[in-house]
Amino acid sequence: MVSFRTGESKVIIRSGYDPRYAEPGYVVFGRSGSLFGVSFDPVRGETSGEPTLIASGVSMDPLWNQLHAPTSDTGLLAYVPGGDRSIGRLAWVDRQGRTEFLPTPTQLYNVIDLSPDGQKLAAHVMDPRLRLGV
pLDDT for 134 beyond 70: no
Domain spans in the chain, listed from the N-terminal domain onward = 1-84, 87-127
Q: In the structure, what pLDDT confidence band is assigned to residue 133 with cuts at 50, 70 and 90?
A: very low
Give residue 128's pLDDT band: very low, low, confident or very high (50, 70, 90): low
Pairing status of strand 26-31 against strand 34-41: antiparallel
Query: Is the pLDDT confidence value at 118 over 60?
Result: yes
Q: 88: phi > 0 → left, psi -120 to 50 → alpha, else beta; which?
A: beta
Query: Coil, helix or strand for 133?
Result: strand
Percentage above 70 pLDDT, the chain: 93
b/e per residue 60-91 (b: at least 16 CB within 10 A)? bbbbeeebbbebeeeeebebeeeebebbeeee
Give residue 103's pLDDT band: very low, low, confident or very high (50, 70, 90).
Answer: very high
Comparing 14-23, 27-36, 38-47, 79-88, the range with the smallest average pLDDT is 79-88
Rounded Cα gap, residues 50 and 40, in angstroms: 11
pLDDT number for residue 53: 95
Strands (E), the chain: 17-22, 26-31, 34-41, 46-56, 60-61, 66-67, 87-88, 91-93, 99-101, 107-114, 121-126
